[in-house]
Structure 1
């Protein structure tokens, strides 16, 4: 059944991916009409999240954020599809880096790097970064495998074009441990703003003014392997154009107090959300465990 679905849908996705951007965003506008206006995909979740985080905003203000958010969500969907056939040259025009030299300087120090980001702006085209770094810096991105193994293979292949490799959460620690033992320099991306499973939630902190469980895996790996930690924020310049700016959290994680890296990440993530909330992924139930009690204990990486 998975193969049938793949064979039926892939030609459609491919045809969408070869559309010029002007037509691509017409497809996005059509998606917006159905996803937001007709089906109301997770509309209640988005409204509740905005009400929780921005209690001071009026109904009109929240509706305006919702409208802009769903437009952006649909843009990201078609941009992900565009990744199937987009050229390196075109992607570089649409996704730029304001200070890639920060990453290059860390490479010159032979530092492996953990990149931390939130579900903000655009994370689909960050993989083009590998075109700007040293060829012996191997790129990894932690992701949740797709249910359909054929589509999963397709999008892993798209990322691999730029020397970036998708690894599941279970593969992350053994993969990076082995790379360190082999003397390989790595650049690994972690989207660290999601809510962990409640039975694994060991650390709680304020995020957007609400105390919730947070992921600490990126910090734990960085500390264990002595990797530099860098936050990358993405700004939407205009439709289809983004700029990424890096900010060093630390080059020496072992010298910092426990959870300080995670806390710094959360503050940086909050800052960009407050500046332009419409570009955050509000469809996630990020604050669903806010009233729960901590029940897990953090495990050390061995």
Structure 2
């Protein structure tokens, strides 16, 4: 009971923080950066190793700049995620813009569902929340071990109509809605559990385990496959573009969809590397399995 009470108190504190104006939140983010980077060194060893292995041709000075820029953005991402708790639709739409809505309008007219792939890049949470305002959006997620926090974050992510689908229920949900127009969002850079690390490709100069589930489901429901290309315009403002990858999933070549979304994310990271989640332990199994492609 005490633990649950503390968790609820923490959630209430996050709610109060989310009420702060953006200028105050970004002052907090500046302070957070100093704590994360200089005081506690949050996962700096992981970040350094990931950057060094991903960009073997960059100098130490270039890698150091990316590392610092990443931690500055990570602090911003933390306060922006908290702001999701209370941000209004109008404020969110002012800060996150879809550059080519006509692509989605065409898919709606064709009544052909969409499998959307995103990376942990820029503020992917804001993009999903904004997109769910006007679209039937399913977002696939990995449940947190703590049910109180899991329920809380599902509620926040679903505020504007998005539907949370646990990873293990993805196939059942997609089959149940296969005759409806839906948009289903997957994170394409999640690390599979070891028993599911069956397919490896080269990603950022390293053999990398990749989920094949995105491709399998896209083929099953014969959806359009797109990628969310996201950019930061300025602090607290973003734009994202729908990039068609495969429009005939059922007849695509084996691994074509998987390779397409992995390579597109790689291109985005090379373009502006500071916005990807470098503190994630992405290459847990790379040394244990031979690269497939």
TM-score range, shorter chain: over 0.9
Partner of 2:248: 252
Q: How does 1:91-240 map to 2 (within 5 A)?
A: 91-126=92-127, 127-133=129-135, 138-180=136-178, 183-240=179-236
Shift of 1:217: 0.8
Structure 1 range deviating more: 69-78 or 192-201: 192-201
CA contact (8 A) 2:48 2:67 kept: yes
1:65 maps to 2:61:
no
Q: How does 1:30-41 map to 2 (within 5 A)?
A: 30-41=31-42
Cα deviation digits, residues 207-251 of structure 1 (max 9, x gap):
112222211111110001111111111101111111101111112
CA contact (8 A) 1:235 1:244 kept: yes
Cα deviation digits, residues 70-102 of structure 1 (max 9, x gap):
111111111111000000000001111101221
Call closer, same or farther: CA 1:2–1:175 in 2, change over 3 Å.
farther
Q: Structure 2: where are the runs of 5+ without partners?
A: none
1:90 maps to 2:91:
yes
TM (normalized to structure 2)? 0.94
SS at match of 2:124: coil
Structure 1 range deviating more: 274-283 or 4-13: 4-13
CA contact (8 A) 1:100 1:132 kept: no
CA RMSD, aligned part only? 1.5
Q: Structure 1: where are the runs of 5+ without partners?
A: 296-302
Q: What is the aligned residue count?
A: 289
Instruction: Give me the whole-angstrom Cα distance separating, in 2, the residues matched to 1:141 and 1:131.
Output: 13
SS at match of 2:254: coil
TM (normalized to structure 1)? 0.92
Partner of 1:289: 285
